[in-house]
Amino acid sequence: TTPYRTAHIEHKTNGDPKWYQKLMKKYQPKDKTKSRYSQHENKQIEDQLARQPIPQSKAELVGHPLYVLKSKLLKFEGIYPNDTPPVGWLKEEPIYPRENIHILRSKQTWLKEAR
């Protein structure tokens, strides 16, 4: 009978999930990346990063959003194009813009991703 079915009991305790999703959808922006507030905030962060000087220690360069040391590249990362001039030097090591770092993939990995 209905009162003893677990699904019926769970439905009563959990409420209607469709109703909750419909309610929460009203309070979320349609596209998070295109909301005016998000765009303004992203622009402020980019401007702030662009104004900062190039870091002068290895610790500051590890994980930096704009710059990377060639020696700190992972085994599956490479600089492209190859003739990219360094934006600075840290002792004897060149510092490159992170926008020129690309992920390298094997033939098998490309085929897996194509599926």
Domain residues for the domain of 56 are 2-114
Residue indicated by tokens 């662009």 = 50
The answer to whether residue 2 scores a pLDDT higher than 70 is no
Domain count for the chain, please give it.
1
Q: Do the beta carbons of residue 64 and residue 55 sit within 8 Å?
A: yes
pLDDT at res. 40: 87
Q: How many residues in the chain?
A: 115
| Predicted confidence (pLDDT) per residue in 4-63, tens digit | 555 555 555 556 678 778 888 888 767 665 677 888 888 998 899 889 999 999 999 998
Of 104 and 36, the one with more pLDDT = 104
CATH assignment at residue 81 = 2.20.20.110
Sheet holding 88-90: strands in order across?
A: 67-69, 93-97, 88-90
Mean pLDDT over 53-82 rounds to: 91
List, as one string, the DSSP characters of 6-25. Answer: HHHHHHHHH--HHHHHHHHH
Mean pLDDT over 90-115 rounds to: 91
User: Model's pTM, two decimal places?
Assistant: 0.62
